[in-house]
Chain A
Amino acid sequence: MLGRTLFIDPGRCIGCQACVSACRECDSHRGTSMIHVDYPDAGHSTAALPTVCMHCEDPVAPCAEVCPAEAILVTADGVVQTADPTRCIGCGNCVGACPFGVPQVDPAQKLQLKCNLCYDRTSAGLAPMCATVCPSGALFYGTLEQLTTERPGVSVVTEFAFGEVVVSTGVAMVAPASHRGPVPGGLPLVEVNGRPA
């Protein structure tokens, strides 16, 4: 059962990058954004997709699992923290391991840059900056009950298939109600007015 977490709705994203700017303002990593916006249909439509850490489970996030320095820690609430700067050697294993393309490594600092779900805010009961400011609701923070109260009938998935490997995530993605099973390839499934988009 999902607790308080991020819900991504790619159909709503307007690509404004407010989430990226807001992430940069979070005190835990002031000045550097840990997330970005992808444009999965570039050249054809204005589809956009906020790319945030999915805080994978199962049982340990792949980035944490492959970290040779054990720098990437997971707190009891399932938040996959950004790499501990005293331990991170900037090797980039996590970049290769992450199926969603989330972590980046600053080569000059030899340090991983990754979303920690605005831990200074979420641990104090606030929403992360990205979801707080998202103008369209492409990023929503709360419980599934809160989401369905605002948006009756919404359906979410937390399993993504990469080939034969299925990854479970702490962050959920909105998917069409007709969809069953893991979402293939980690790419968004969006229906617009009843048609795939």
Chain B
Amino acid sequence: MTVPDGPHPVLAERTGETLVPTHCCFCGVQCGMYLRVDRRGKVFGVEPRDHDINRMRMCPKGINAYQQINHPDRLTAPLLRERRDQPFRAVGWEEALDHTAERIRRIQQESGRDAFGVLGGASLFTEKAYLVGKFARVAARTRHVDYNGRLCMVSAAGANKLAFGIDRAANPFADILQTDCLLIAGANVGECFPVLTQYLWGARDRGAKLIVVDPRETVIARTADEHVALRSGTDAAFFNAVLHVLVREQLTDEDFLAAHATGWAELKAKVSEYPPDRAARICGVPAEQVVRVARMFGSAPRAMAWHARGIEHHTQGVANCLTVINLCTATGNLGRPGAGYGTLTGQGNGQGGREHGQKSDMLPGGRSISDPVHRAEVAAIWGIAEADLPPAGTSMMEMVWQMQAGEIRGLLGVCNNPFVSLPHYATVKDGYDKLDFHVQLDFFLSETAANAHVVLPVTTWAEDEGVMANAEARVVKHNKAQEPPPGVRTDTWVLCELARRLGHGDKFDFPGSREVFEELRRASAGAVNDYYGITYERLEATGGLAWPCPDLEHPGTPRLFEDGRTYHPDGRVHLQTVDWHPPAEPQDAEYPLTLTTGRTVAHFLSGNQTRRLDPLVAQTPRPWVELHPSLGYANGQPVKVSSRRGSMVLPALVTEAIRPDHVFVPYHWAYPVAANELTIDALDPRSKIPEFKVCAVRIEPAAAVDPVAAPPRPPGRAAHPAPDDMSPPTAPQGRGTDDRR
């Protein structure tokens, strides 16, 4: 590990500013950065940091992230209204908290404890994610708690648990530099994790092969050795066929399988049903390409696969992830430098946020809320009787359906924006509108918060300290760079104050993040997700530690399975057979095209943050519909995109870099140009992840594009000028015409 870097010598000495070492708030790479703090203690800029995760490299979101901190849209006072048809009024914290606690109490008295739910987010520090889970179960005593990682990582989580008994990437990023063949599936690395491209190019400089599986030509697919532009929703068929060829050509590692895996005989029988010709028909790619990919991956001395939402946002998301694990295991590519498997987390703490109890079925340490032994262990830490710990709840989308049905009448949301991020906007809005009480914690007024009864202003990532775990399961320390505005509190403080009003203050006596982290360490001790050996001091000294880290001398676990054992009791990889099934909503005569959704480099998830930052808005001011020239549209032409759930008009971005039978819409903008007006709320039955990546749509010419709504801002703030001048897309990844210049 790198020794900690001190203040940047040249610039700090010259200007008298302070450089605070921390990490980015955005994606799961968790780039190190400095925040530049002026003499008055205000953050005014960013400086690249030579942390070993990113070695000074940054993406446009990270470079502009600091502009959130002192942004004029910041929420700076609690907002309250009794009914949604009333305007918000600014109130003091005592009134807002008393009102909230009273409404929680009343709802639970009238309709039972489970009538109140809690929804968290995976961009929270791990301490706060832990506290969300504890608050729901111990203070609100409800079974209903889930988080927005339900829209991100839960398919990968499900597959990891089934196969390995542990839910994290098997290898660190640095292993990419040592691999001989890198398979990237459903991960638009250049736009979602731009800094990872240094690792990809580092591997290729050594002669490594790159295989990219994606319906679109992403920026890394353009130069890949193989770009498999398959139909969205056919990943399982493709990977089964690759494994079929590996078996046929004896490229599997039978010794490894015999020593370290179970279920190989059944899996081999299953993939015998997937010859390349079958995959070619299902996936829409040449059969020869299946063979080439299999030979490339299977013949590499060390091969590695990483994937992201593109194969996970499906009704068989868990199955898709399992087929990639099957490939790595069958070729013996686990537990060695340059050989392995990983999943790329989209949110800054997409890994850490799912580890310690924020999920509907999980307790700290990755323990199961259904396991009596696990329950007793956590209840003891929390000082409650095991019987008082609620059972498992339901997933985020299911909670919305329960809100519609009146089973959940009240909700506390923190660090999420479901109005933009959950699929099927009409259902989401209906669910939230039916709530008798809704309180949202945020630092900007998101579309979801703007619909709430109470909005509580909380800190940005730079106004508190805490940890996140990046996509390689490395726990990194974020440091406080600035005091928050006077009316703003930490999420920790808010949750503790609410818990006190609900009568459980004795279990929520946390002055700050450090004290929460100390309890989290104890709560995770002895479990699979063991953080016991991680302290703030050790993180500062090392630059970050990968869990499991069971004691204070343990060096951390950058690479799993080096001892040849998984975390199942038998120590083996539990291979699972997978059959491919069509998506919930295949193309048909009425809706002949497939919509797939995803990110653009300038924006982050629901866009609640990035849609307020002028440089990022200038880079990408509005969404578009990306489509192939054979569909007959001119670049910039208004196109109406319709699904069975809604429609919108977007400018066309005409490019050959997408399949002719697919269209793509980025998902960062809100109604009336929110991709979730089109997407389907069909769920993977195991992970409950929505199928964002496939639904059936049709397109037709239209007269004018729908406007981009300015993000909501607190009452009384001056309006930002709308960024939208209605001109065609300018420069989203070079896919269209740059005719503004």
Contacts from A to B (Cβ < 8 Å): 11-18, 20-22, 24-25, 27, 30, 36-39, 41-48, 124-127, 129, 132-137, 150-152, 192-193, 197
Contact = CB atoms under 8 A, between A and B. Distances in A.
5 contacts: A21-B63, A36-B741, A39-B738, A46-B733, A197-B223
B201 A12 contact: yes
Contacts of B191: 14, 16
Given A45-B734, A48-B219, 17 more contacts: A11-B223, A12-B197, A13-B219, A17-B619, A18-B57, A21-B615, A21-B619, A25-B45, A36-B741, A39-B738, A43-B737, A45-B657, A135-B57, A135-B194, A136-B194, A192-B222, A197-B223
B56 A17 contact: no
B660 to A, nearest CB: 14
Nearest to B48: A132
Nearest to A11: B223
A78 to B, nearest CB: 22
Contact of B10 (A46, A48, A125, A193): A125
Nearest to B653: A43
Most interface-central of A124, A133, A137 (chain B CB within 10 A): A133
Contact of A20 (B60, B196, B225): B60
A73 to B, nearest CB: 23
A11 B191 CA distance: 16
A45 B200 CA distance: 19
B657 A46 contact: yes
Nearest to A23: B63
B736 A43 contact: yes
Most interface-central of A14, A38, A45, A47 (chain B CB within 10 A): A14
B142 interface: no
A39 B198 contact: no
A21 B735 contact: no
Contacts of A30: 45
B187 to A, nearest CB: 13
B63 A25 contact: yes
A122 to B, nearest CB: 11
Interface of A is mostly: loop
Contacts of A42: 655, 734-738
Interface string B591-614: 000000000011000000000000
Nearest to B613: A21
A151 B205 contact: yes
Contacts of A47: 222, 734
B60 A16 contact: yes
B577 interface: no
Interface in B53-80: 56-60, 62-64
Contacts of A15: 190, 219, 601, 731, 733-734
A55 B58 CA distance: 25
A18 B59 contact: yes
Nearest to A193: B225
A47 B218 CA distance: 10
A131 B145 CA distance: 44
A35 to B, nearest CB: 13
A18 B218 CA distance: 17
Contact of B219 (A14, A36, A124, A193): A14
Contacts of A45: 217, 222, 656-657, 734
A152 B60 CA distance: 29
A92 B197 CA distance: 37
A46 B197 contact: no
6 nearest interchain CB pairs? A39-B734, A14-B190, A136-B197, A14-B219, A135-B194, A21-B63
B194 to A, nearest CB: 4
Contacts of A48: 219, 733-734
Interface in B563-605: 601-602
Contacts of A18: 57-60, 62-63, 194
Interface in B648-665: 654-657
A39 B657 CA distance: 13
A135 B195 contact: yes
Contacts of A17: 60, 601-602, 619, 731
B368 interface: no
Most interface-central of B194, B221, B734 (chain A CB within 10 A): B734
B629 interface: yes
A48 B414 CA distance: 38
B494 interface: no
Contacts of A46: 190, 217-219, 221-222, 657, 733-735
Contact of A193 (B58, B205, B223): B223
B635 interface: yes
A79 B56 CA distance: 23
A25 B33 CA distance: 14
A36 B46 CA distance: 20
B194 A43 contact: no
Contact of B655 (A22, A44, A150): A44
Nearest to B655: A43
Contacts of B656: 43-45
B11 to A, nearest CB: 8
Contacts of A134: 57
Contact of A133 (B45, B58, B601, B741): B58
Contacts of A152: 205
Nearest to A126: B10
B184 interface: no
A137 B733 contact: no
Contacts of A135: 57-59, 194-198
A124 B10 contact: yes
A49 to B, nearest CB: 9
B220 interface: yes
Interface in B716-740: 731, 733-738
Contacts of B14: 124
Contacts of A44: 655-657
Contacts of B733: 14-15, 39, 46, 48
